Amino acid sequence: MRGKQAGWVLAAVVVVGVVAQSHGANNGAGNGADERDTVGPRSAESSRTPAAETTEPVTPAPPSTPPPSTAPPRPSVTPASSPTTAGASAHRPARGTALAALATLPVKGRAPMTGYDRDRFGTAWLDADRNGCDTRNDMLRRDLADRVVEAGTNGCVVLSGVLADPYTGSRVPFERGGGADVDIDHVVALGNAWVTGAFRWDIRKRAALANDPLELLAVDASANRQKGDGDAATWLPSHKSYRCAYVARQVVVKHKYGLWVTAPEKAAMQRVLTACPGQPLT
């Protein structure tokens, strides 16, 4: 009996040992699996940014380009190609021309002729430049060809010559004392000067105008008398090729002395000078 009990005890010990050994092996395998399951994946999980998991969704910014307008497109106009600008530039007279100077003259109505007299412009044919010769003979010497002067007059008195008349385009012989075929014309007639500003001047300024070589021209006497006190609106030289130079000379005289033009006078001047826009202001 005792022998059987001892055998059972021994068998039980063996069984218990086998069971314990088997249980230890299973625990070891389980622990290894747990470490792989928790360390590997959790390490990867811990590398993520927590904020990325918890941040609320961000609303995208609106596009920088505004949505297309439903209004019809407006045509773009480049200033250089603007018809108004181009037209103004194309018709603007060049500087230094009579046409440009005409644009600067004031436009007013005619003043009355009240008080006008040739004597209001000083004694006729003064020696304004003090060269010893009167203004009339100065102009004859300047404008006549083949001239002959009287001896003993310091070359002043012109006895004869030939005029290439700018008003008619003809040749006019001149002989002192032989008839009044040649006149010395005031390009801006003194009567016209009076009604466009000279009535306000003192005698010195009027005399300066009446004896200014720019204002004076030797011409055919009959053409000069047809002109009278007329302006460009009422009289122009019959020699058409001289009209540009004639009107330009009137413009420069008026510009120099501050005289104005009437509206019809300016329109007539502009018509003439438009045909020769490069006519210099001489």
Q: For 163-174, what is each residue's pLDDT tens digit?
A: 999 999 999 999
pLDDT at residue 73, as a whole number: 52
93 — pLDDT class (breaks 50, 70, 90): confident
Task: Tell me the whole-structure pTM to 2 decimals.
Answer: 0.68
**pLDDT over 50 (residue 58):** no
Phi, psi angles (nearest 5°) of residue 17: -65, -40
**pLDDT over 90 (residue 261):** yes
pLDDT at residue 222, as a whole number: 96
For the ranges 11-15, 81-85, 223-227, which has the lowest average pLDDT? 11-15
180 — pLDDT class (breaks 50, 70, 90): confident
For 204-219, write each residue's pLDDT tens digit: 999 999 999 999 999 9
90 — pLDDT class (breaks 50, 70, 90): low
